[in-house]
Amino acid sequence: MRSRILVNAAIAAALAFAFAACGGGGGGSPTSPSANDGPIAATIVIDATGTVAPKDVTVPVGSRVTFTNNHSAAHDMSSDPHPVHTLCPSLNVGLTNPGQSATSRNLDTARVCTYHDHINETNTALMGTIRVQ
């Protein structure tokens, strides 16, 4: 019985590590003391039909974006490209359950960031663009 508990604990730890490595974890660890103190410049809502709105936003350099999930399913909003999420890692907000919100880290570089739902990576209703200027 004890060995089964240890095996289950090891599996749970491995899964937690795998999900964290994929950009999850509620915004990740800040890379500097100011990584999470920029103003929230836009809120992107996943509506009851599972569609993001607005699909295209422009925010100032140093600001953050909030994703609000009003859908009945959980979503994992992440930077492109799938599955590495490296275009704009600050957007990797992690798993957001129905009724919850998650905010990005500071978007500190002027560029065009595209994103998707890691769970539904081909669903265009859950893709959008954030222009950081």
Q: Hey, which CATH number is domain 2-132, 3.40.50.1000, 2.60.40.420, 3.60.10.10, 3.40.50.300?
A: 2.60.40.420
Alpha-carbon gap, residue 73 to 18, rounded angstroms: 21
Q: How confident is the model over 48-102, as pLDDT tens digits?
A: 999 999 999 999 999 999 999 999 999 999 999 999 999 999 999 999 999 999 9
